[in-house]
Every structure is written in structure tokens, then in C-alpha cells.
Structure 1
Amino acid sequence: MSGLLRSVVGGLTSSRVFAAPLRCDAPPPSGLSVKAPETTASSTELDKFRKTFYNFATRDQIDGEVYLSEPDFVSAVAPEGDFNKIRREQYGILFKVADRRKVGRVNFDDFVAFEELLKKPAAEFDVAFRVFDSNGDGVVKFDEFKQVFQSMRHPESIPFDFDAPWVTLYLGKANGGHVLGFNEFTQLMKGLQGERLRQAFRHFDQNQDGYIEKRDFSRIIYELARHKLSDSVLANLENLGDVVPDGKISYSECIAFHNVIREMDLVEKVVREACARSPDGKITSQDFTNHASRTMRYGTFSPMEVAIIFHYARQGISAGEKPRLGLRDFGSLLDAKWGPPRPAGESKGKKATGTALHEIGKSAYYFGLGGIAGGLGATAVYPIDLTKTRMQNQRSKVVGELLYKNSLDCVRKVYKNEGFIGFYRGLPPQLIGVAPEKAIKLTVNDLVREYATDKDTGRIKLRWELFAGGLAGGCQVVFTNPLEIVKIRLQMQGENAKITGAPRQTAGQIVKSLGLLGLYKGAIACLCRDVPFSAIYFPAYAHLKKDVFHEGRDGKVLPYGEALAAAAAAGMPAAYLTTPADVIKTRLQTEARKGESTYKGVVDAFRKILNEEGARALFKGGPARVLRSSPQFGVTLVAYENLKKHFPYPEPHQSLSELVMPREEDLARVRARNALKVLLDVDTNIGIAKSQK
């Protein structure tokens, strides 16, 4: 009776006539009661499972059951867009594990159980074990292994001998063997591809001379590991014979190639670390071997394996053309999703237009983020900036009245005479102007560095770093100079009112009185300050992060504290060494009081300050400038980088939700894919119809 019921239910689920799609992110529709499954999952995890389930579920219009069909289930568990080497329909084999009742549909309880299975540390092997444990008794016998193995293989696959010694060692013979528990089964699966390779080589080595034809080698690897290799490597499999050019491929070469595939994660680790430590970001085979020896405690790659790694990384590159390889060169070997570049003439016009619009939008977006970051930095240190300005404008006793003994005395007197709000005089125009000022500096520096960075190594030469920073500093002057002259005059009003009784002016009145040309008074001094400041600051910051705090080494991401320390430390020499230009700029942009010297230009100001007040006057406010510029640029740059990180400009493949927070691949989907990869070691064609092979 139960078998008949299953047949009826299975027939209903296979017919879409009796089912209506249910697509929503909300809880189940009213009137549908869903019993909470027996599970150890937290309420947060259950909510996540429920959302996923009902987003892809189908509701049966006859009995109202909400379930996942096989296509629904694949959509719910398969990583999105990951169907290049592993086809979508192949994930259907996981459906058989989730369908605990064997009725052709997965309900919410089944789905939760499958998701919890994927949470286990050895989930990938557990899924495979359940596939082979066909009767569900907790062990895999010889007959079970053979039957499931053969059922998953394509009829035209390379033959596999179940009487081979390797199989006998694990499972014995058909009628007298031992059984495998879960742990033993995992070891069998770990060694399965090696045995398949041995048997396949023997199958094609008809005369047993230890060699096979190149086309036979290609077929073996294509059948064993197609899902693990890029299109570039697959297209050049027969070129393995070029490593040891003898016309055919030996068993040693087959094993060496298989070892490279098996240890691909370790290959990538060695390549990345060796390139990161290389002065130019590129390595030779000797560099690779040396770093592998340091990394691996008890073994290393054989010379043949290293030769194979570099052979496939050099596809299309002559030996004399590029003897040293960067990380980009290894991409086609390391990344199974890597594909050949688009032909130059394919959709050229559309692509160029799309790229140009994309880059313009990207620059404008990051320009805006730079403005936000600049505003945060300016507000954080504005009281220090006001103190610095007042100290720099103070003349010596010979020239004028000495109002402040030092920066601390200036702070006390500003607070006493003008109150707390006095520290923020001139802040509104500062914020209005600082947005485009900092934005253009950060954006120009980014653009030049991106242009000058070697795409193969990710490195940039020092001269380009200096040029990028200097150009960024020069470009910002168009915004900086008007901003600063208005800000300085607003900052000096409290002091002038106390001494001369001069009436206060608004920012608009100051701009009107100065006129367009007056807003650029002192622009040469501003250039003399901002160009060297940025040329020092940006390279120093980049090298402090990389060389002192070791960002990127072994995948290290700097915490906020270290990033802020690097940014602040880089600002110290940049701020102090450019203080003379800042003093001259301040004097040129401030209205001279009665009895004080006036200046005709940068050179005249430099001479008079030097003659009347001495060399020390050129460094007035230097400590305050360091105290202001160092934390300001620290806050600004760290804020900018984190805004870019958490609110990145959406690339063409990104969804709107990914704009808010970059999405990490869901661990359950990753493990579902890895579980399928374990089963693909049986045959890369599992789940694919013969006509589609």
C-alpha cells in the first residue's frame, strides 16, 4: 500500500499540471501550517533555511504541500553562476540524498536535514557516503560500491576493473569482502582518482611499454578532472608531451600532472607567497622551488611537477620573451573558471562604450565617497587646524604683537575668549570645499596608480607612486586655495576683533570682497605645499601598510588600528617638511594688520620672513600641523578605503544588494559544490544524459 502511495505521489510531483510555483521571501502563506522540524539549528539558522526554502518552493494545488522538486532544489543549493565546468543538472544527484522519503520531492524537514548535513566538518564526504550507502545501513559493501559506481558512470567512460588489487585492498571480493564504515570510505574516495588514472593508463598502454598517445592522455584527464581545470589547460593537454619531448607521454608524466591537480591549492599558496616576496612580483621555477622548500615541512614538488606548472603557466609565451612569471600568468592553471580572452573584434563597439560609461560612473561614485571621507577627517581635526592657523599668522615682537606663547596657550585663550564654538569657526565653508578637494586628491591618486600598476604583478614603481601623489596634490589646488583663504580669514576674525575691533564677515562677504582672482591669492605657495605633501604621503602610506604592517602577506587584512597608524605615521613627515610652504601661504592669504609686513609673492615672503624672523619662523605651527594633518589624513584615508570596501561600486555582474555589502559565498552552497566534486571523482559525467556528453 505504501509503495502504491509513493507511486501516486511521485506521479503527481512529476507533473507540473498539478503544481503551481511559489516564489517569495516571506513565510509560508496563511492557511499553511508548517511544523517546526526536529533540529539543532538555531532560530536564526532556521529563519535562513525557511527563507531559502520558500524562495524556491512549489505548492501542490491538490494537497497544499509545499516542496522542492529536483530543479527547485538545485536552484536552492547550487552556487549561483557556477555552471561552467559543473553543469546545473549534475547537482541533481544531491537531491537523491536530500529526498529521505524517496518520493521525488523534498519538504521543509528534508531541506533542514540536508542543510544541517552540510554544516558537518566532513560534509562533502558524508554526502558521498550516503549516495553509496544505498540501503542506508551505515556501511558500504563491495556490491553496493560497484552498483552505485557503475550507475553514475557514462556508458562510454574508460573501463574500471573492480577485481583490481586496489579495490580488493579496500573492499575484498564480491562474496567475501569486508565492509567500509564512513572513515574507511573517505580514504577510498581520496585515492579513487589515482586508481582510475592507473587503470586508464594501463587500458591505453596496449603494448605495455610505459607510454600512451597524447590524445589518450587528453581523454584520461578530461574524464578524470575536467571540472578542476581551465579551458586553456584543457585545450593544451596534449602539449604535456613538450615537457619531455619524445612524441608520447609516460606514466611518470601522467602521475606528475595528476599530482599538480591534486595539490592545486598548495601550488597557488606557493605561487602567491613567492610572488609577494619577489622584488618585482615575478618568479622563476627556481624561486618557486625554493619557496616550496621553505613552506613544505616534509616534501616538495618534484622537478617534473615544477616543469609542468610552469609549462602550462607559460602557454602562448616564448621562453625568451618572458622568463619570469607573475601571478596573472598562473591564472589559467590555478583557476578552473578562467577562460580565453574575448576576441578583439567581438562586440567591440558595445564593449568600449559600456566600459567607458562604467569607468566614468565608477570615478564619479568614488569621488563622492572621497568627499564624505574628507568631511569626516576635516571635522575630526578642525580645532587643531584653527590653532595651527593662528600660530602661523602670529608675527614676532619686532613685527607685531605676540598673542600666544605656544599652541597650548592658543587653545586656552581661544576657549576663554570665544568659547567652544570658536574652535569651529570657518568649518561650514571648509566642509563645502573639503569634499571636492579630498575627493579629487584621492580619485586622481587612485586613477594614476591603477594605470601605472603592472597588471601581472600588482606592483607599481616608486617614480609612478611619487608622480601619482604629486599630481593628486596639484589637482586639488583648484579647490584648496579658495577654500583655505576663506577659512583662514574666518579663523582670524576672533583674533582681529579682539585687537582692532573689526566687524565679523560671513564667508559670502569674504568671497565677494576677494573676487575670483583674489580667491587664488597664494596659489603658488599652495602648490608648493600640496604637491610635495601628497608625493610624500601616498607612497609612504602604501609602503607602511605593506612593509611594516605586512598587509596582504599570507592574506592579512589590516585591522582599523593598524591602518589608522599607517595613515597617521605617513602624514607626519609629509606635514612637517611642507610647513614652510604652508607658513608662506598663510601669510599671503591673511590680511596684514597695521605695522605688519606685506608680501608681493612667494619669493618675497620667504625672504622677508627669513630676514625679519629667522629660519625658525618658517616652521611655526609645524607641530600643530603635524597634529592636524597626520590624524586628518589618517581618518580620511581609512574612512575612504573602508567606504570603498563596504560600499563598492557595482560591477556589471553585481546585484544591487551586493553594493551595500560584498557577499561572501554561502558556506552551505560551497559545501554542496564540494560534495558534488567528491562524487565527480567517480566520473565527471555523472548526471549528464548520454546525448549531452
Structure 2
Amino acid sequence: MSKTVKDLTAGTAGGIAQVLVGQPFDIVKVRMQTSAKGTYTGMVHCATGILKNEGPLAFYKGTLTPLLGIGVCVSIQFGVLEWTKRFFASRNVASGTGGPDGKLLSDSQIFSAGVLAGLANGFVSGPVEHIRIRLQTQSSTAPEYRGPFNAIKKIYSAHGIPGVFKGQGVTFVREAAGYGIYFLAYEKLVQREMATKGIKREQLSPLNAVLYGAAAGYALWAIIYPIDMIKSRMQTDGFTPATGQKYTSSLDAVRKVWRAEGLPAFTRGLTPTLIRSPFANGATFLGFEMASRVLNSL
């Protein structure tokens, strides 16, 4: 089995773990991001409202899309990341830097690898998250879409490829900035652990994989949360003025949200995100590291 196939497979394991752990928090975040000002007094109010009005299964509404899509997304992230790291390592060997095997990458190399991983991931995460958000925010009593495939079919029939990829520009900005920081934070923590203890990567403890993944998740959201909020607004907006379109572009969304709701709107829903982040991102890196060890032992 090639290294790239192993990376993609391990990334899929990490993505599935991320979705199963993080989905209930994500639906609360999306509801708070996209609701009118004053709809919810806080995370608990939103969560209890969902539980009371829609039942416990509502916290996994739209899960099929991310379970399939995010598994692919994280697979792509780690596949591109690890390929790019190997590319930089080979360059380092040629230039005599990065240690004997070239694997000690510079901060700029790690960040660049993360940016490329994020951009590659964005081609899938954009439409996946768009469909998920449409399902998460639709009425539970009179839903417009019966499921993810029905949503894709209806949106594509009415608005074509641009409709399915609505909010794609801001998605690319979020992914590039976020995953550059995300993987840089994780790799620096892992490198420090390896240097301090004189161990190899496969000797990193599962607990530290979780803790470092959690820390990387906080670094990610510290950078991208306001961008993510605008993405959510764009992906729940109408497709045309006739269907209730509020924003003509992402920049238009920033201006209108700022004028109407002020700075608090850009951090609304942050609390469930911060609670979700260590669990979801810790699970992601744990899933990837453990799956990689199993695959590398075959």
C-alpha cells in the first residue's frame, strides 16, 4: 500500500471520528450563527430549544452529508498535507537542511503545506457544508429537502453548479488561513515533544495526540470564526432576489451584518464551537495517528 493511500485512509478515519464527536455542537453553532438577532439567549437556550421542539435526533440532522463528505475532506487534507511534507523534506535533503532525513520542516513549509491542504479540501468541504447547513436550518415541520441527495438535486436543478457551490469563495479563504495555522500548531507541538523526549512520531502517546489536536483546533477557530460566520450566512441566504437573497457577495455580507448587528454577530455561536473544538479535533488527530500506525505496520 502506497504512502498516499495510507494517508488518505487514515485521514478518512480521522474525519469520521470528527463528525461523530462534533456534530451535535455544530448544529447548535449553525443555528446561532444564522438566526435573527435575539432568537437565542445563548448556547443552552438554543440546545434546549432544539431538544424540546425537534427531539434528540435533531442534533444529528444532516449527519449523512458530513459523515460521507467530511470523511473525504479530512482524507484530502491529510493526503495533501503529508505529500507536501514529503516534497519539502526531499527539498531539505537536497539543500542539506531539516536534519539527516529532511523531516524537520521550517514553520513556513508546514504552514504552506497546511494552506495547500486547506485549498484542496475546500473543493469538497464547500458544497458538503452548504448542503449540511441547508438541512440543519430548514423547518422540521415543513422541510424543503428530504435529505442530502434530494437537496443536491433540487439546488442543482434550479441553480446549477454555482448554486451547489454557493459561498465557495469565502470557504477557500477560511480553509487556506485556518488549516495553515491548524497544522502548523499541531506539528510544532509534536516536534517539540519528539525533541524533548527523543522519541519517534509513532511513539507519541494517544493522549498527547488528543491534547495537541485540541490545541490546534483552538488555534484554527481563533483565526477563522468570523470568516466561518459569513460563510454560514452566505450558505443559508436565498439564491436570487426572488427567493430572499440578502447578500450579493461575501464582502456585502460583512458590510450588512456589521451595520445591522455589530461586532457580536461575528462571534455568535462561538461558545459551542469552543466546547466542541477540543473533542472533535482531538478525535481527528487521534484517529489519524492511530490509523496511520496500524496501516504502517501492515
Report the residue type matching 1:404 in the other structure.
Answer: Y
Describe the SS at the equivalent of 1:647: helix
Change (3 A) 1:595 1:624: farther
Distance between the aligned counterparts of 1:592 and 1:445, measured in 2? 35
- The question of 1:645 aligning with 2:293 is answered yes
Distance between the aligned counterparts of 2:32 and 2:195, measured in 1? 38
Change (3 A) 1:497 1:435: closer
In 2, are the aligned partners of 1:522 and 1:589 still within 8 Å (CA)?
Answer: yes
In 1, are the aligned partners of 2:6 and 2:295 still within 8 Å (CA)?
Answer: no
Report the residue type matching 2:41 in the other structure.
Answer: K
Distance between the aligned counterparts of 2:76 and 2:143, measured in 1? 36
Distance between the aligned counterparts of 1:606 and 1:574, measured in 2? 20
Structure 2 gap segments, 5+ residues each = 94-99
- The structural deviation recorded for 1:551 is 5.6
- The question of 1:626 aligning with 2:274 is answered yes
Percent pairwise identity: 26
What does residue range 107-126 of structure 1 map to in structure 2 within 5 Å?
A: none
Among candidates 141, 166, 174, match of residue 529 of structure 1: 174
- The structural deviation recorded for 1:462 is 1.2
Q: 1:426-448 CA distances to partner (integer Å, 9 max, x unpaired)?
A: 00111111121110001111111
Q: 1:5-29 CA distances to partner (integer Å, 9 max, x unpaired)?
A: xxxxxxxxxxxxxxxxxxxxxxxxx
- The question of 1:406 aligning with 2:42 is answered yes
- The structural deviation recorded for 1:449 is 1.2
- The question of 1:363 aligning with 2:4 is answered yes
Distance between the aligned counterparts of 2:16 and 2:147, measured in 1? 21
- The question of 1:544 aligning with 2:189 is answered yes
In 2, are the aligned partners of 1:497 and 1:504 still within 8 Å (CA)?
Answer: no
Q: Which residue of 2 aligns with 1:390?
A: 31
Describe the SS at the equivalent of 1:600: coil
Describe the SS at the equivalent of 2:198: helix
Distance between the aligned counterparts of 1:506 and 1:441, measured in 2? 26
- The structural deviation recorded for 1:506 is 2.0
In 2, are the aligned partners of 1:474 and 1:530 still within 8 Å (CA)?
Answer: yes
Structure 1 consecutive aligned stretches of length 4 or more whose deviation exceeds 3 Å = 501-504, 549-552, 591-597
Distance between the aligned counterparts of 1:562 and 1:367, measured in 2? 22
- The structural deviation recorded for 1:577 is 2.0
Distance between the aligned counterparts of 2:258 and 2:246, measured in 1? 14
Distance between the aligned counterparts of 1:366 and 1:463, measured in 2? 22
- The question of 1:566 aligning with 2:208 is answered no
Report the residue type matching 1:441 in the other structure.
Answer: Q
Q: Which residue of 2 aligns with 1:553?
A: 197
- The structural deviation recorded for 1:591 is 3.9
In 1, are the aligned partners of 2:217 and 2:277 still within 8 Å (CA)?
Answer: yes
TM-score normalised over the length of structure 2 = 0.87
Greater percentage in helix = 2
What does residue range 87-236 of structure 1 map to in structure 2 within 5 Å?
A: none
- The structural deviation recorded for 1:409 is 1.1
Among candidates 48, 51, 57, match of residue 421 of structure 1: 57
Report the residue type matching 2:126 in the other structure.
Answer: N
Report the residue type matching 2:283 in the other structure.
Answer: V
- The structural deviation recorded for 1:503 is 4.8
Distance between the aligned counterparts of 1:537 and 1:577, measured in 2? 9
Q: Which residue of 2 aligns with 1:215?
A: none
In 2, are the aligned partners of 1:368 and 1:439 still within 8 Å (CA)?
Answer: yes
Structure 1 gap segments, 5+ residues each = 1-357, 397-401, 649-657, 660-693
Distance between the aligned counterparts of 2:195 and 2:212, measured in 1? 11
Q: Which residue of 1 aligns with 2:118?
A: 473
Report the residue type matching 1:426 in the other structure.
Answer: G
- The structural deviation recorded for 1:592 is 5.0
Q: Which residue of 2 aligns with 1:37?
A: none
- The structural deviation recorded for 1:403 is 2.7
Among candidates 244, 251, 256, match of residue 608 of structure 1: 256
Alignment RMSD:
2.2
- The structural deviation recorded for 1:502 is 4.9
Report the residue type matching 1:407 in the other structure.
Answer: M
- The structural deviation recorded for 1:631 is 2.5
Distance between the aligned counterparts of 1:458 and 1:586, measured in 2? 38
- The question of 1:463 aligning with 2:111 is answered no
- The structural deviation recorded for 1:627 is 2.6
Q: Which residue of 2 aligns with 1:576?
A: 222
Q: Which residue of 1 aligns with 2:148?
A: 507
Distance between the aligned counterparts of 2:177 and 2:144, measured in 1? 37
In 1, are the aligned partners of 2:70 and 2:125 still within 8 Å (CA)?
Answer: yes
Report the residue type matching 1:482 in the other structure.
Answer: P
Higher relative contact order structure (alpha carbons within 8 Å, sequence separation ≥ 6) = 2
In 2, are the aligned partners of 1:383 and 1:423 still within 8 Å (CA)?
Answer: yes
- The question of 1:376 aligning with 2:12 is answered no
Change (3 A) 1:561 1:579: same
Aligned residues: 281
Report the residue type matching 2:198 in the other structure.
Answer: D
Report the residue type matching 1:555 in the other structure.
Answer: I
Distance between the aligned counterparts of 1:529 and 1:437, measured in 2? 14
